[in-house]
Amino acid sequence: MVPELEEGLPFGRIKDFSLEELLGMAIKAEVGAREFYISLARRVEAQSLREKLEWLAGEESKHEELLRKIYENMFPGKEVLFPKEYIGPELKPVARELTKVEDIVDLIRWAMEAEEIAAKFYAELEKMVEGKDKKRLMRYLSDMELGHYYTLKAEYELLLDWSMYSQMMHVGP
């Protein structure tokens, strides 16, 4: 386990929370993921990977905005409720120096796990929300997170062979 990741509740515990609480958790998770990707991008020298991380950060930011709109639509005028708990791994900003490529590889692997759980999380919310519109939006978020998962998986597989990665992806001077 890395310090940027806190293991939350097992996925099955999703049933213990209200839709309002789960939306709050989702917003918190999108904020956490954005901060994680931004902080990681700052510590990564490989341009290709840095650009992907910045792109992911931007996407999570749009998801946060979308979720806040959905929340406002479902609970008009109410402040967002952020439960203390969260489901699955929670990403936190990277505050340490990353000295070895293995450090980056580890973080990417955890981010993959977080994205995979996020996709499952939204698929579960799709079942819980009422109305075609909201179901569609949850499906959208679920698919997007799955897209992130595969984008990260692609980088992860290449990073496992750093000498090749650096040669193929224009890394270094």
- Residues forming contacts to its own copies in the complex (CB under 8 A) are 48, 55, 62, 66, 69, 132-133, 136-137, 139-141, 143-144, 146-151, 153-155, 157-158, 160-161, 164, 168
Residue 96 token pair = 């340490």
| Residues 41 and 116 sit within 8 Å (Cβ to Cβ) | no
Provide, rounded to whole angstroms, the least separation between the CB of residue 142 and its own copies: 8
Nearer to its own copies, 9 or 128 (CB): 128
Nearer to its own copies, 25 or 63 (CB): 63
d(CA 33, CA 3): 14
Q: Which residues are registered as beta bridge partners of 46?
A: none
d(CA 125, CA 104): 31
Nearer to its own copies, 17 or 149 (CB): 149
Helix (H) or strand (E) holding 91: strand 89-91
Provide, rounded to whole angstroms, the least separation between the CB of residue 95 and its own copies: 28
Nearer to its own copies, 98 or 158 (CB): 158
Provide, rounded to whole angstroms, the least separation between the CB of residue 168 and its own copies: 6
Provide, rounded to whole angstroms, the least separation between the CB of residue 78 and its own copies: 19
- For residue 99, CA distances in Å to 5, 15, 44, 105 come to 18, 41, 10, 12
